Chains A and B, each alone.
Chain A
Amino acid sequence: MIILESQPILTTPVAHAVGVWIASLLTLMIFSFLYKDNPFYKFAEHLFVGISAAYWMTVAFWTTLIPNMIARLWPAHMGGVLPAAVGQPREWIYIIPFAFGIILLTRLVSRIAWLSRWAMGFVIGFAAGTNFTRYLQSDFVSQIHSTMVPLYQPGATTASTIGNIFSQLVVFGGVVSALVYFFFSKEHKGAFGRVARFGIWILMAAFGASFGYTVMARISLLTGRMNYLIQWVKGASW
């Protein structure tokens, strides 16, 4: 993989102070949305969207298009851009993604726009194929493997043995009932329906735990941002 070299960015105290002011004011402008939509929020929103769209386009150009496509097809011309690529052999296989990239751009010409569907079909087909094996491993095979544990595992004490049994029963019962819930071929009635209902309870319990956990993480983010603002207020010479 070819890695682009980054240049260190030099900052001065004035530039730093200006940066802190801009960041803090923009934070307050975004927070103002909590009151209601207003011109300050609109300004910050449009600024954010515009800058980030341009930023990501630049990032994609320099980290994807140049090193993964142009440098592989025309390494000899990378002298002023990517010196590491100069001298590397040309990789003709990259003609295929290059062609698909060009085909995707045919959307801009309405008469041949239909060609772009080939490239989109390739992207979706590739995603389906690669994700199939990935999910088969992580969400299917590994999950079955992890669930195949004995319900009875003797512990050091009676209490720990009971604890082990309870834990395994929750895992086993939870997996089986949640799987039953996601069964679409049979109506959730009778015993099957009761197992499915237990499955959705298990899911909701898991969601509740996850909710609490994530809220805690979000609060820490808010705390971090508030701390930034407090530091700004303390450091500002009014």
Chain B
Amino acid sequence: MHKVALIVALAAILVASSAIAQESDSLAVPPPISLKAYDTPSDKGGSITLEWELSPGDTGENGIITGYRIIRYVGSPESSEVVAKVPGGTRRFVDSRTHDGTAYYYQVVALADSVASAPVIAGPVQSKQQWFDRTRANLLVIALILVFAITYFIFLGAKGKELYIRRISGLEAIDEAVGRATEMGKPILFIPGIQDMDNVQTVAGMTLLAHIARKAATYETKLEVPVSRSIVMSVGRETVRQAYLEAGRPDLYNDDIVHYITDEQFGYVAAVDGIMVRQRPAACFYLGAFFAESLILAETGNSIGAIQVAGTAMPTQLPFFVAACDYTLIGEELFAASAYLSKDRKMQGSLKGQDAGKAIALIFIVAGVALATLASTTGNETLLAASNWLRRLFTMNF
């Protein structure tokens, strides 16, 4: 009995001495300083940021601190969980696994190998979603400037001010191609690309389809519009129906003018190629967003001797259209087309507004390059700061 009591007493002494040793070790490891925990700003919620000053023992290679352990709990420390361990020298950590509206407490302890310092505590803190991302404030300003420029010129156009738009040769070829199909008594083929209506190029293609359909209705020329998206088919039918109505020939319209083939890219291409070689249209229009099918379509159109007009803003497909088509609307010419063809002053105003946006971009590019060159050449600190600020104005995280 005495022996048992002695063993228990010795064990208790050992545990106590171990705890005292640990505590004294812990006291030897200096904790980090000034821990701050706050909701991560300008985010979609679910994230809390921690910042602290390095422990006095965290002095790089000569220091004793090897890292920091980050602990999180809700309510009482009993529910603590280790969120992360970060290496020495770290001053910041973002906990991106929080639930919005829950009050969290954070402890950060410095680690010297296996020995931990006393914890520093911050909290309670809650994460929440922000309505406005302040890091994108520059984008808002740029967008507002562009919107203002476009609105201003639309307003001028609506007031009847004469707005000059230069000649775009590719667009004049559209009327020429429709005229040729009419003379030859052959159909017109219009391909609005293979993307859906959420692509602006398809939207631009639809506005051009309206123009071509109006001409086709006026000249009583057959129009064929195979599409690869169901929504494009719906919008295309509405567009063509309206165009035939405006041309005073609703009797010529039927829903089969715009018809769906398949969503599959090369299935669509195979079918369109088949239509080309069997119906032998005199004019082929490729106006919209295209991918690998561009050359296949344009080459088949070329092989049947059709006059071809293409337009896309896909940089990788433009070379093929330039090589295989008679006229190509390059990039923004496709978007400018509807304004140019309609002669509508409001639309021309919007085009003018876009030009104003390009002029602003040009000014900033020239100013930015000049400043950066001067700063690089002279090494002047003020110029360098101005140059960096100007560049930062055009970043995603202002």
Contacts and interface: CB of A to CB of B under 8 A. Distances in A.
Contact of A176 (B139, B199, B365, B390): B365
B267 A133 contact: no
A88 interface: no
B233 to A, nearest CB: 10
A131 B198 CA distance: 8
A182 interface: yes
B345 interface: no
The DSSP consensus for interface residues of chain B is: helix
A165 to B, nearest CB: 10
Interface in A120-162: 120, 123-124, 126-128, 130-133, 135-137, 140-142, 144-145, 147-154
A154 B376 CA distance: 9
A140 B361 contact: yes
Interface string A163-207: 000000000100110011011111110000000000000011011
Nearest to A182: B332
Given A49-B262, A179-B358, A152 B274 contact: no
Contact of B365 (A56, A148, A182): A148
B263 A128 contact: no
Size band of the A side of the interface? 35 or more
B318 A127 contact: no
Contacts of A147: 365, 368-369
Interface residues of B, number: 74
A206 B146 CA distance: 28
Nearest to B153: A185
Interface in B345-365: 351-352, 355, 357-359, 361-362, 364-365
Interface string B363-398: 011101101110111000000000100110011100
Nearest to A187: B166
A135 B361 CA distance: 14
Interface string B229-268: 0010011001000000000000000000000111110111
Interface string B137-155: 0110011001000000000
A56 B319 contact: no
B203 A33 contact: no
Interface string B301-315: 000000000000001
B94 interface: no
Contact of A150 (B318, B357, B373): B373
B84 interface: no
B372 A37 contact: no
Nearest to B377: A152
B365 A123 contact: no
Nearest to B330: A203
A172 B373 CA distance: 12
Contacts of A144: 361, 364-365, 368, 394
A209 to B, nearest CB: 9
Contact of A53 (B263, B369, B390): B263
A223 interface: no
Contacts of B216: none
B20 interface: no
A45 interface: yes
A33 B273 contact: yes
B139 A141 contact: yes
Nearest to B332: A182
Nearest to A148: B368
A55 B366 CA distance: 52
A107 interface: yes
Contact of A151 (B142, B261, B262, B373): B373
Contacts of B167: 187
A98 to B, nearest CB: 16
Contacts of A44: 270
B266 to A, nearest CB: 7
27 contacts: A48-B264, A49-B261, A53-B260, A104-B231, A116-B234, A120-B231, A123-B197, A126-B198, A127-B199, A128-B203, A131-B198, A136-B142, A141-B394, A142-B394, A148-B364, A149-B372, A150-B369, A175-B365, A179-B358, A184-B336, A184-B352, A185-B163, A185-B351, A185-B352, A185-B355, A203-B330, A214-B319
Interface of B: 138-139, 142-143, 146, 163-168, 197-200, 203, 231, 234-235, 238, 260-264, 266-268, 270-271, 273-274, 277-278, 292, 295, 315-316, 318-320, 322-323, 330-333, 336, 340, 351-352, 355, 357-359, 361-362, 364-366, 368-369, 371-373, 375-377, 387, 390-391, 394-396
Interface of A: 30, 33, 36-37, 41-42, 44-45, 48-49, 51-53, 55-56, 60, 104, 107, 116-117, 120, 123-124, 126-128, 130-133, 135-137, 140-142, 144-145, 147-154, 172, 175-176, 179-180, 182-188, 203-204, 206-208, 210-211, 214, 218
